[in-house]
Amino acid sequence: MSRTRTALLAAMALVAGATGSAIAAVPGDAGAAAVPCTVDYTVQNQWDTGFTASVTVTNHGAAKSSWAVNWTYAGNQRVTSGWNARITQSGANVTAANESYNATLASGGSATFGFQGSYSGTNAVPGTFTLDGVTCNVDDGGTDPTDPTDPTDPPTQGDRVDNPYDGAKVYVNPEWSANAAAEPGGDAVADQPTGVWMDRIAAIDGANGKMGLRDHLDEALRQQGSDELVFQVVIYNLPGRDCAALASNGELGPTEIDRYKTEYIDPIAEILSDPKYASLRIVTTVEIDSLPNLVTNVSPRATATQNCDTMKANGNYVKGVGYALNKLGDAPNVYNYIDAGHHGWLGWDDNFGPSAELFKQAATAEGATVADVHGFIANTANYSALKEDHFSVNDTVGGKSVRESKWVSWNRYVDELSYAQALRDKLVSLGFDSRIGMLIDTSRNGWGGANRPTGPGATTDVDTYVDGGRYDRRYNTGNWCNQSGAGLGERPQASPEPGVDAYVWMKPPGESDGASEEIDNDEGKGFDRMCDPTYEGNPRNDNNKSGALANAPVSGHWFSAQFQELLKNAYPPVS
């Protein structure tokens, strides 16, 4: 019996906690005949009076040019807003109809939409769903969609799907989960999925008593059970790593590209391609903070550094990323996502286009092709707000554009969602597959708490307007280290917006960005003044204060004070 069929037998779960998921129960053996459609309804986040949910509908019948999903609530739930579908409600009855851009639902194809709702008392998962009037998740006596001869058969194990996150659980790192659960209030988020970081060669086998890559993958198989499961791993060990920063420098020198290939990428590729793990959907985040440095921090830029000039000249960032994409992409169940910085780094016109072109160069280096790239990830380990609701680049105040404000400073984008969607369009125009998807790291960009604005700033002048309304409370978008006032952002979820495969917590909340003072270590990590709370800044953050928390440990180490800060300022709030 395939995992696809087994998933249809999952019993309905009633959601009483912060998250939950259900596929309606099917009495008897689903193998006796086919179901015409399946609906997976997942409560992504829940608090005292509200919740967000994601719904994936899969069509096992004939292709459709339009569709509508219906369900009825047993309680007093009300849908207040939605995305990726036109959602209406009459009493307890809800209808979610396609948008124009996702009207086609192929045989075997899926569509995912989401919404925010309110409730009081209990928030039970609906018991019955229909697609165009036909009940889903129930035998119709027709052909078996899991029969290998059936043309409507959904993807089997090892087949790449359009979005690996759709219809799948995501791996919960037990080491991070234990750290989170040990914190006061941490139980509320300890079951959230986070990325597993391979930040040095020793991490592959396990360093300092921690789990190695195979240990994590074996645990992922245990968590998977009969479901689809995504395993997220961060590939992060380029020669001369993080040339413009010191806190996250790595173990390999600028010229050690051969060691990177043979001692780091090759062993990882061998493990990921092991048939034992073929049932997992493995998502790689390839080399954060590398390629963007070759655009913004090289000569003749004012922010140039000698280290970045060296890495641009020797080409080892481009070679390393290309090699990683080529080798890792050989496994049919691996989905490569290239790091793409964030809006506060690459959003300006003279950074945006050149960065996209550099991504294309790296994706076609060392034997790689654009087919080895499933997508890109924005805001990895950063703090940029997901969506600024109270101002946009199209606003004017007193005859001045918002782009002229000190905060925006002529950037074309004011948040990560607009940046990620625009970058995706640019990359497709350069030759990447039109189906590429974006990931956005929302692990630390919630900016909730008492200081979260509830409306626009005063229209006294453009700076007052922007500063009074912005969620992102940093001194400058160039500030990146252990930011004071930051909060957990949107919980991980699949297909939240057009062009976005998932919101993810690729950076595990509570793991330090870097030490606030120099600390000896055997990990090759230095001390960067941007992690020093007393630092007054440099040209890369327009000479603003660093905004960093005090008493931080070396990057990647647990930082309890940061975790507590993120819990306190979470948005949506943690209940």
Per-residue pLDDT tens digits of the chain, which is 575 residues long: 222 222 332 333 333 333 444 443 333 333 333 688 999 998 888 888 888 899 999 998 888 989 999 999 888 999 999 889 999 988 888 999 999 888 999 888 889 999 999 998 889 899 889 998 888 886 544 443 334 334 334 333 346 899 999 999 999 999 999 999 999 999 999 999 999 999 999 999 998 899 999 999 999 999 999 999 999 999 999 999 999 888 778 899 999 999 999 999 999 999 999 999 999 999 999 999 999 999 999 999 988 899 999 999 999 999 999 999 999 999 999 999 999 999 999 999 999 999 999 999 999 999 999 999 999 999 999 999 999 999 999 999 999 999 999 999 999 999 999 999 999 999 999 999 999 999 999 999 999 999 899 999 999 999 999 999 999 999 999 999 999 999 999 999 999 999 999 999 999 999 999 999 989 888 878 888 999 999 998 888 889 999 999 999 998 899 999 999 999 999 999 98
pLDDT on residue 49 = 87
DSSP 295: H
d(CA 528, CA 294): 19
- Cβ distance 229 to 220 under 8 Å? yes
DSSP 131: E
d(CA 128, CA 73): 9
List pLDDT tens digits, range 292-327: 999 999 999 988 899 999 999 999 999 999 999 999
Q: Kindly report the number of other CB atoms within 10 A of residue 401's CB atom.
A: 14
Question: Cα dihedral angle (156, 162, 166, 168), rounded to 10 degrees?
Answer: 40
- Cβ distance 140 to 34 under 8 Å? yes
d(CA 7, CA 167): 10
Question: Cis bond leading into 572, ω under 30°?
Answer: yes
- Residue 277, CA distances (Å) to 125, 220, 268 in order: 32, 9, 13
pLDDT on residue 139 = 59
Select which of 415, 513, 528, 532 is catalytic: 513
β-bridge partners, 408: none
Q: Using CB atoms within 10 Å of the CB of residue 320, give its burial: 0 to 12 exposed, 13 to 18 middle, 19+ buried.
A: buried
Q: Using CB atoms within 10 Å of the CB of residue 25, give its burial: 0 to 12 exposed, 13 to 18 middle, 19+ buried.
A: middle
List pLDDT tens digits, range 79-134: 999 889 999 988 888 999 999 888 999 888 889 999 999 998 889 899 889 998 88
**Active site annotation includes 289:** yes
Select which of 289, 372, 501, 528 is catalytic: 289
List pLDDT tens digits, range 411-434: 999 999 999 999 999 999 999 999
d(CA 129, CA 245): 51
**Structure pTM?**
0.74
Q: Kindly report the number of other CB atoms within 10 A of residue 278's CB atom.
A: 14
**Active site annotation includes 513:** yes
Sequence-distant (6+) residues with CB within 8 A of 243 are 293, 297, 305, 307, 308, 310, 311
Sequence-distant (6+) residues with CB within 8 A of 300 are none
Sequence-distant (6+) residues with CB within 8 A of 135 are 36, 128, 129
C-alpha radius of gyration, the chain, whole number: 23
- Quick check: helix, strand or coil at residue 437? strand
d(CA 211, CA 77): 42
Task: For strands 129-131 and 134-135, give the pairing.
Answer: antiparallel
Could you give all domains of the chain from N- to C-terminal order, each with its CATH number? 3-135 (2.60.40.290), 169-568 (3.20.20.40)
- Cβ distance 501 to 438 under 8 Å? yes
Q: Using CB atoms within 10 Å of the CB of residue 392, give its burial: 0 to 12 exposed, 13 to 18 middle, 19+ buried.
A: middle
